[in-house]
Structures are given as C-alpha cells and as structure tokens.
Chains A and B, each alone.
Chain A
Amino acid sequence: MLEAILFYGFAAMALAGAFGVLLSRNIVRTAVWLLATLGAAAGLYFLLGAMFVGAIQLIVYAGGTLVLIIFGVMLTSKNPHMRFAPRRAEVAVAAVVCLALVGLLVWVLLHSTWYVGPIVQTRAQWAQTGVNEHPWAHDLQAVTQFLDANHVAIVDAKGVPCGPVTLAGLARAAWYELTVMPQGDQGDRRQPLHDADGKPMSGDQLLAELHALPPQDRAIDDAALESAIAALESPDAPARTVQQVAYACGDADLLTDADGDGTRNIGLGFLGVYLLPFEVISVLLLAVLIGAAYLARPRVPASGGTGGGR
C-alpha cells in the first residue's frame, strides 16, 4: 500500500518534471524541473532496493551534474531571464535524437521479460493471490516444499516467517553467496542450494558445476568453495532474514545482492566483467579533464611573434 503510494508519487513527480523540462522556456527553471525528475528517479531506485544506485544518482546527477549545469547557465547567460528560442534545425536534430531514444526504449520495453509476481509475502497473502495459476507456481511450490522439508524458514525483520520466495531468486542468491562472498565473511548468510531448475542441489553437484566453470568466473578458490558448501549444508542454519533474501528474490537482482543493495555486485561488475568498458569510459573523462584544463590555462602572450600561443 505505502509502496504503491510512493511508487505512483515518484512516477508522477518524474513525469511532471520531464514535462516541465520540455515546456519551460526559462533555462534555470528547466534545471529545477530536471532536479525533480532526477530526484524522483533516485526515489524509484530506493523503492527497488537499489540503494547504492539511488545514492549515486543523487550525488552524481542531482548534486554534481545539475550544479554544473546551473553554474554554466549562470556564467553564460547575459540576461537573467534568458529564454530559449531554438532554431528550426535545432528542433529537427533534437526530434530525431529523441525519437530514436524513444524507439530504443520501447523496443527494450517490449522485448524484456517482466516478472510481475509477488516477491516475498506472508503465507496468508500468498494464499489469496491465486498464484497457483502463475506459470512459476510449480517451481515455487517445489521450493516451498524443499524449505519445509529441510526445516528452513525465511523470516522477516521482526522474526515472523515469510511465505515462499521465487525460485530464480533463491538460486541466484545461493549462486552469489558462493561466488561472491569469501568464506567465513558473515557466517549467518547460509541458505539452501538449488540448481537452475529449482531442484534441491547437493553440495557435490554444485561443486561439480562450479569446478566446470572457467577460473576467471569464480571469485573463490576450490578449498574455500568446499568449506563454504560445507557451511551451507550444515543443519544448524535454519533462518535468514528477509533483508538478506528479499531483494535477491525478484528478477531485479542484477542490481542487488543478498544485502539488499547492489554495492558488491556493482563493484564486481566494474572491476571484473566490465573492466575494459569501465576503463575506456574513464579515459573519456580524462580527456574531458584535460580539455577543461586546456581551456582554463592562462593565456601566455606569444613570445617571438608568430606561431606559439593563441
């Protein structure tokens, strides 16, 4: 309920801000409308549980980029109430770029798989949703049965047992747990293992699968892996809190890890899989920095007449 209110509130704010940017002719007011949109986007990230992305959105876009934009406007505009008067050609170019972007977004929207089912619920809510007709229901029941059979309960922040969670989420959570977390890091994060089809998985099976991976895809070595699996399978690991599982259980977990925010995964992505693109982008920023330094350097009068200096 509250989440729905917040979601629609932030969505409305983002839309209103976007239209404000579009319709406002005063350049500083445009920046303020943009602030509304950026802040609302950060709020939506927070609602998704992607705390890190939300906070970085605030720091980089709302706090950094926007300040620079306003700064630039204040420095360049001669008239405090300067208004936009775009030329035809500019409108045409902007229209082409924007239509291309909209097309791309719509294409992504239509071609993505969206998981719309419940993420983590109490058992009573679970029974009311009629989720048994959901295509994933079979898998979910299998997971629930497995959890019950193994005396595993998933509890929320106040210790109340929760209902079933999605299979893919648990499988992925188990996966991240093993590939991401050093063994012995936080002993209470153990959870049941599943393979990609949702069947309970023994330690040996998982071990075999992980051994088959190329070494660069694994974050821990074989010995640590084996002890981690031993820890996962130990019978005295009965409960996990919902913060550790909930956000890993939806489909939105590319941004999230078992802690409820995506910090660890983002770090692994930047310094692992996507290291090269990340570095290439940082070279771009370096070029911008050098360009700024070049523009800001003191104009040295040309010595010896022609040639040097500007």
Chain B
Amino acid sequence: MVPAPDYIPLINLPRPIEAVAVIAVYLGFVSVVAMFFIWWERKVSAHMQSRLGPMRVGGWHGWSQSLADGLKLLSKEDLIPDEADRPLFRIAPYLAFVPAFAAFAVLPFSAKFAFVDVSITVVLIFGILALEVLGVILGGWASNSKWSLYGAMREACQIVSYEIPLGLAVLTPVLTVGSLSLVDISIDQGGGIHRWLAFRNPFLFVSFGVFFIASLAANKRAPFDLPESESELVAGFHTEYSGMRFAMFFFAEYAAMFLIGGLAALLYLGGWYDPFGIVLHMEHTPSLVWWAALAGAGIFVVKAFTMVFVQMWLRWTLPRLRIDQVLYMCVKVLLPLACVNLLGVALWAWLFPGGAAQLAVQIVLTVIGAGGAGAFLAILVWAMFFRGRGITVSMLKPWTNLLHRTESK
C-alpha cells in the first residue's frame, strides 16, 4: 500500500550514529583530497617548469610528501605575535576551514549519494562558502601586521565584488532548469553530452566561463591570489601563522578548490553523467541503480579533479593581476557579461522552448566545447610523447629560424 520511498538508507543505523558515520567519511575524504591536491599541485607546477618536484618521501614520486609536511606542521611551534589580538588570531583558521568543510555536506556526488538533499542546495552552498572570507579577514586583521592587513583588505574587496558575477552566473543554470537543487540540476543534464548545461545555448556557454573566472577569484586562486601574493606581501593574510593553524588555511583553500570544481561539474558539465548517456540508462534499470550511483560518483569526482587541474594549470601559467585590474575585470567585464547572460538565458527559454533549432545549437556548441577539450588532450598527449626529447628546441627550430632570419642576415 505504501509505495517504496525514494530514500534508501545506506546503512541501517539510528539517525545520529548514521550522521556521525557520514561526517567521519566526509572528514576523511576532504582531508585526503586536500592533501592529495597539495602534492598534485607541487607536481603540476614542477613539471610545468621542467622540474620533478618532490621525489623522495614515500616511494613512487614522493607520494607521501604531504603526509610528511603535515607531521612537520603538527610538530611546529604555534607562534602568536606579541601585539596580535590573541582570541581572534586563534579562531580565524577555524573560521576559514569549517565553512569549506561544511559545504561538502550539501554537495551531491550522485543521485544516491546526496546526503543532505534540501531543495535549495545552490543557495545553501554559497551561503556556507560566503563565511570562509571572514576567517581570512580576521586572520589578517588579528595578526596586527601590515602585510597581513593588506592581504585581508584585498580579500574583502575581492570577495565582495566577485560574489555578484558569481551569483548571477549561477542563476543561469537555475533559471534554465527551474530548480535550486543541485540534484535536480544534474538530473536535467543526463542523457548525453549535448544535454550538459554549458552546451545548452550560447549564453550558458559564456556563463560557464564567467562562473569559472569568478569562482577562481572567490577562492583567491591565481591569477587572483592577491590576498597572499608572496612577492609583495610576504605571504599576505597568513604571514604570521605557523604550524597547524597555517595548515588549516591551506586545507580550506584546497578543499574549496574541489568544491568549486564539483560545482562547475554539477552546474554546467553534466553532473555525474557521462557524455554518452550510459549512467542515465543504468539509473533507469532497477537492477543497476546502485552501480549507476557508484559510477556516477566516480565520474563526478573525475570531472571535479579535471576542473581542479585546470585551476592549477592556470595558476602556474598566468601572472598575477594588479588590484585595479582585478576590479576592472569584475565590474566592467564579468558583471555586464553575467547580466547579459541572465537576460539571454531568459529570452532563449522564451524564444526556443525546444525543437530542431535548439538541438542544432546544442550540437554546434557541443562540437565547439568537446573539440576544444579534445584538442587540449591531443596537445597533452603529444607533449607527453615528446617529453625529454627537447621539444622546445628541436621541434620549434623551423619557426625560430623564421623569426630570427632577419637577425642572421
């Protein structure tokens, strides 16, 4: 008589124990991911600069470097400057880390692995992330150091400005799908790469770019890493921090990198669905539902990691902006673009509620987007294949010859 409920508990435990178990799993996941990212970023940066990066600790390619660093930071003295505001200085790292961790609670990994499914996940996740900035600002202020204060002021300025284009960019998928739930938004994108929201219409395509740039700035990743710009401000807001408190700022940043990558995947890049619609098919086959959940979670993590790689790639490629360029970018480029996108998405939904034109646009955009990603992958493979054979010199010889022809004559 009573129909089967939507919600099937993972493990049949009393609610509080289940909650504690889930929290433990999340804490483990976030910590491991953050430590992996720190190691990965050092590897990525090293290889981009023709170095090897950490190679010694652990075995293969220094895989346990982050663990060793963690132990080192744990055993370091917890210094507090004499003139600092001691209570605020102490709580600031927690204020930065706790929101970044708490936001994971509402991040769905796949249709079955959405542990807290409220209908307004999108708003909630940005509400929680909005708190992260307070830790940075208070840390910078409480240190009572000029470098820290400059970092904190830049952070405040940057976050408050970039939240506007970020929010407007996030509204476009919400408007298209008609739901504030990340699960709903993802489910709408199942069934093939042309269903992914980034490829739905031109405005969403641009909106994805706006979202990604604004989220970089919101997480103070390069080229927007002014709050800690180490060449000007020593280390910015965490100049005075040492030991585990310093590490917590880092954990917060790297956990937020995964969050932002995950949000980009959920909002624009098809959530936990593969490009060919296999997972969607599995979800509709009753015997394969759990396999679909597992495969979906795996695909989601792969997408999020890809976006994290792009963040690292950008960090080690682009030079840091000046503060006036950062604000110019926000107010004069991203904000108008985001507004136009919002209007455009609304207009698009009104003009093309479906049909052949919509499908044609989706296919064209898919070809552009997937073609770009494919070209990038091809270059990557090519670069790996020629690695160590001096590509920069021998492969580019014809072109350098062209360039230098006038000089040699």
Interface residues of A, Cβ cutoff 8 Å to B: 2, 26, 28-29, 32, 35, 39, 42, 51-52, 54-59, 62-64, 66-68, 70-71, 74-75, 80-81, 151, 153, 155, 157-159, 161, 238-239, 241, 259-261, 263
Interface hit among B52-60, B122-130, B380-388: B122-130
What are the residues of chain A within 8 A of B88 when measuring CB–CB? 28-29, 32
Given contacts A58-B127, A70-B141, A159-B4, contact A260 B153 (CB under 8 A): no
| CB contact between B119 and one of A70, A71, A263 (< 8 Å): that residue | A263
Say yes or no: A261 contacts B118, CB within 8 Å. Answer: yes
Determine whether the beta carbon of A64 is less than 8 Å from that of B4. no
Min CB distance, A256 to chain B, in Å? Answer: 11
From 276 to 297 in chain B, residues with beta carbon under 8 angstroms from any chain A beta carbon are none
A27 to B5, CA, bound (A): 52
Whole-angstrom distance between the alpha carbons of A127 and B152 in the complex? 57
B128 lies within 8 A of A58 (CB):
yes
Q: What 0/1 pattern do residues 188 to 217 of B give for CB contact below 8 A with A? A: 000000000000000000000000000000
Interface residues of B (CB under 8 A from A): 1-7, 9, 15-16, 83, 85, 87-88, 91, 118-120, 123-124, 126-128, 130-131, 133-134, 137-138, 141-142, 144, 149, 152-153, 156-157, 159-160, 163, 180
Do residues A55 and B124 form an inter-chain contact, with CB atoms below 8 A?
yes
Contact of A35 among B4, B120, B134 (CB under 8 A): B134
- The number of residue pairs between A and B whose CB atoms lie closer than 8 Å in the complex comes to 115
A58 near B156 (CB under 8 angstroms)?
no
Q: By the criterion CB–CB under 8 Å, are A157 and B7 in contact?
A: yes
Partner of B2 from A42, A55, A159 at Cβ < 8 Å: A159
Given A58-B131, A261-B118, 17 other A-B residues pairs in contact with their CB atoms under 8 A = A28-B85, A28-B88, A51-B118, A54-B124, A62-B134, A64-B163, A68-B160, A70-B137, A74-B153, A74-B156, A80-B144, A157-B5, A158-B9, A159-B2, A159-B5, A238-B1, A263-B180
What is the CA–CA distance of A309 and B159 in the complex, to the nearest angstrom?
32
Bound CA–CA A70/B6 (angstroms) = 45
User: Considering the chains assembled together, what is the distance between the CA atoms of A30 and B172 in angstroms?
Assistant: 37
**Which chain A positions have C-beta within 8 A of B157?**
71
A49 to chain B: closest residue by CB: B118
Q: Which of B2, B85, B127, B141 contacts A59, CB < 8 Å?
A: B127
Most chain A CB neighbours (cut-off 10 Å) among B6, B123, B163:
B123
Nearest-neighbor residue (CB-CB) of A75 within chain B: B153
- A67-B160, A68-B160 are contacts. A263–B3 as well, Cβ < 8 Å? no
Q: Select which of B83, B85, B153 is within 8 A of A71 by beta carbon.
A: B153
Closest partner residue, chain A, to B133 (CB atom): A67
Assess whether B141 is in contact with A28, with CB atoms less than 8 Å apart.
yes
Query: Which residue on A lies nearest to B7, using beta carbons?
Result: A157
Nearest-CB distance from B362 to chain A (Å)? 24
With A2-B16, A153-B2 in contact, do A58 and B119 touch (Cβ < 8 Å)?
no
**Given A28-B88, A67-B133, A261-B118, A55–B123 Cβ distance below 8 Å?**
yes
Q: List the A residue with the shortest CB-CB distance to B91.
A: A32
Asked whether A64 lies within 8 Å of B120 as measured between CB atoms, the reply is no
Min CB distance, A273 to chain B, in Å? 21
Q: Output the residue of A56, A63, A157, A260 with the most chain B CB within 10 A.
A: A63
A35 proximity list for chain B (CB < 8 A): 134
Find B124's partner among A2, A51, A71 (CB 8 Å cutoff). A51
> Contact partner of B138 among A52, A55, A70, CB < 8 A?
A70
B127 touches A63 (CB 8 A): yes
Which A residues are CB-close (under 8 A) to B144?
Answer: 80
On whether A239 and B3 interact (CB within 8 A), knowing A71-B156, A260-B118, the answer reads yes
Chain B: minimal CB distance from A297 (Å)? 14
Which A residues are CB-close (under 8 A) to B159?
67
Expressed in whole angstroms, the Cα–Cα distance for A80 and B144 within the complex equals 7
**Which B residues are CB-close (under 8 A) to A28?**
85, 88, 138, 141-142
